[in-house]
Structure 1
Amino acid sequence: MTHRPRVVLGVGGGIAAYKACEVLRGLTESGHDVRVVPTEAALRFVGAATFEALSGNRVHTGVFADVPEVPHVRLGQEADLVLVVPTTADLLAKAAHGLADDLLTNTLLTARCPVLLVPAMHTEMWEHAATRANVATLRSRGTVVVEPASGRLTGKDTGKGRLPAPAEIVDLARLLLARPDALPRDLEGLHVVVSAGGTREPLDPVRWLGNRSSGKQGYALARTAAQRGARVTLVSAHTQALPEPAGVEVVHVGTAAQLREAVHLAAESADVVVMAAAVADFRPVDRADFKIKKSDRDPDPIALTRNPDVLAELVETRRGVAGSRQVIVGFAAETGSGGPDGADVLDLARAKLARKGCDLLVVNAVGEGKAFETEDNAGWLLGADGTESPIELGSKAKLATEVWDAVGHLRLRCGDAPG
């Protein structure tokens, strides 16, 4: 029988507790065995019956329930992941100082698996010196404390401290279950620019030339970089309505020209640039002001012109900056040539790496059910130094961690300390 990963889902006493239900459903539907451990305050927001119905497991808050099973010890010992959604300022303080006055805080003390804390609180509480010290303490011990999102808080307030989207939390949880060391704070102090999604080149007010990129890989790269400590600018072309990653500045664009302008501007202060977007190679020479109508005659051919090569431009710009140590990562979506030369995906990718001059190139074999519009990804990671590493099929978040690992190793070889 296949092992079902065991997750303890702690729920803190904040208004965002209701979103823990969506996280719970996402984990159970993807095959995880989830035991919900709320605080007493959390049950003021969501009743135990809801958690029991969604998880299929009993819910307790105190250490004196099911005493023969010793749950205050067993839950942490047997878990593959402890996840707390939301983590209030109070819970952060208790975890940092080793307090254990209920079942959840006892579980945090006995856990020897990855621990993922997802804070949600008002901006003033998140920015308070005590909270910042508690977060630093927990991170120094290896606990993953997620950067919160910005947006609408309780009442009329807005700012940093909003709970990230439940789907994003589930992705991070699954990532840590697959790879417990996936989120070190090794990018602190760096400015990272990531492009994502597919550009659209208008033919008329209702039609465009585009591609099948969903933006999921670029968003995974941005999300992972932010949780590894970087300041992240995400230049986002058209995506499948993806939630904005927590802790990331998002710049929305439409066309290749708009993406080019936004990336060049952000790259001026960037330590790392990752071009994961699928940028259109061509655009129509002319854009009709009105919808092109059907007619009895054959339509006029659509004249195309080549778009600028943003990746090559970034490399050329870097060459003009004395002493620049900026790392540039490209992406290549290849199908093989299919022609008489018989060039395969890797042949084409090697030629592209040499032509573009970037430091790393992530290569995806694309086609039906591959790379585009999927949840998982695979491929190869090529280095300008001739190294080639296969990337096994896994989540796009997992691929993102391999890219950031490679960036970190490259920076170390170039003499740059992390952060």
Structure 2
Amino acid sequence: MAKISFTLLGLLVLLLGSGVWIGLGLIGSGAGMLAIFKPNMPVAKLIAQQAFNVLSSAELLALPLFILMAELLFRTKISEALFTGLSPWLRRVPGRLSHLTVLGCTMFASVCGSSAATTATVGRITAKQLLDRGYDRGLVTGSLAGAGTLGFLIPPSTIMIIYGVMAEESVLRLFIAGILPGLMIAAAYMGYLGLRAVMNPSLVGTPPAPTSFVEKLRALKDLGPLMVLIFIVIGSMYAGFASPTEAAAVGVFGAIAIGIAQRTLNLRGLLASCRAAADSCAMIGLIMIGAMFLSTAIGYLGLPRYIAGTIEGWGLSPLALILMLLVFYVILGTVMEGLGCIVMTLPITLPLIEAAGYSKVWFGIFLVVVIEMAQISPPVGFNLTVIQRITGDSIGKITRATLPFFLILAGFVVLIAVAPGIVDVVPNMMANR
């Protein structure tokens, strides 16, 4: 069995390291393993079967709709509305407008399942505005990188949809489970920003002019369209009126309506959004097909059972297992994109987690958080690249500014490992209504 393990590792390194698309690399690795160790297996039939299963999955239907909604909103004035609507309420809070990045990303994440889209949409306005007002450059870029990762955790989340399909877990339950952890991480980010500002007021520039309560209320109208869209998409799912797919479809129409009302969306923009969404969905679909096929291939070879049995033989405590997986995923995330990390390792790590007594919903949240960490880990961390395009800073400088937020995420992983009930409290409350 060790020979099989090293052969698989060698094929993955060879194919993925050569620059082959992740999906094709996974398919090639699975086909190579079966050709070497199970030469009589009908490889072509297995690939076709897995492709059909993935492309006909009802649960995955929500994915292209949520991606399209994010692409449409990216072409609206949502980022400007977040800035003008929130800034009057933050002028006297410790940290002042530095909280805009966290609150803006939290709100936009509620209608967008992409970390990169959240970072780019919120960052293109808030980063420039804060830097022009004299806010510390490291504080601005670090908070934007950290808060941008909330696009994966706060529902709707594309990563949760993919995990739910692969783990055969309810996508809606995963969405509900992501609410409290997402808000807790956002609160931790804001607490850190406020503490830094109290310790060193010069980080947040000069105090802005006071704002009357009437002006604050007037500013909320800018948040109206986004708040309505959040209420429709998220509220309809949690109230049981709509499935994730139905809510996503309504969200697409809502995003189009916002774009038309703001006069920022025309036919050319609509077609560009559709093309961008199609590109993303094609990439994700190919990765999913490759992952499901590789999972089937290594299942036939008995590799997951062997690795699970080996690790169980080490006698690790549940907390030690979680810490080991945390280190493993952080290292893997430095050389591989987050989605690839999940789909490639899930067939092996999920049985270990269930044997340790954790639920599949809990592991889904754990994976999302560690993938958030991968998003801000050099050299592959995609959020770092997005922020580099926005600010022009070097990756090294952005990485140093992001380190405190990376450590907050790591601390949260340890917290939910020690107290896993944090993840299940909201889903259990909704189930007992």
Indicate whether the TM-score tops 0.5.
no
The interval holding the TM-score normalised by the smaller chain is under 0.3
Question: Over alpha carbons, which structure has the higher Rg?
Answer: 1
**Higher strand proportion, which one?**
1
Give the structure-2-normalised TM-score: 0.26
**Larger relative contact order (Cα-Cα within 8 Å, sequence gap ≥ 6):** 2
Give the structure-1-normalised TM-score: 0.26
**Higher helix proportion, which one?**
2
